[in-house]
């Protein structure tokens, strides 16, 4: 199977935060040294960063609407 196929997923902000926390908990015990960290953990960390960015953007947009 090709790894260059993207999957788009829509979540509400509460579900996104819950998924982010679960992913973070799953990899908590691994080192941040990429030379000895499993690729799976590196990929999960990239997903966490993406979730963080999207959550921040959604919160910023929500705050702008309420101001």
- Contact predicate 50/18, CB 8 Å: no
Tens of pLDDT along 9-43? 999 999 999 999 999 999 999 999 989 999 999 99
The reported pLDDT for the residue numbered 1 is: 62
- Which single residue is written with the structure tokens 């799976």? 40
Nearest to 28 by CA among 14, 41, 46: 41
63 pLDDT more than 90: no
Torsion of CA 11, 27, 2, 36, to 10 degrees: 150
Q: Please tell me the distance from the alpha carbon of residue 46 to that of residue 57, in angstroms, as a whole number.
A: 17
* pLDDT band at residue 62 under the 50/70/90 scheme: confident
The reported pLDDT for the residue numbered 53 is: 96
Q: Please tell me the distance from the alpha carbon of residue 34 to that of residue 16, in angstroms, as a whole number.
A: 25
pTM of the model: 0.85
């Amino acid at each position: 199977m090709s790894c260059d196929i993207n999957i788009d997923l829509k979540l509400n902000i509460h579900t996104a935060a819950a998924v982010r926390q679960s992913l973070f908990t799953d990899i908590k015990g691994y080192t941040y040294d990429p030379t000895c960290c499993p690729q799976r953990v590196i990929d999960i960390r990239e997903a966490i960063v993406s979730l963080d960015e999207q959550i921040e953007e959604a919160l910023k947009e929500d705050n702008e609407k309420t101001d």
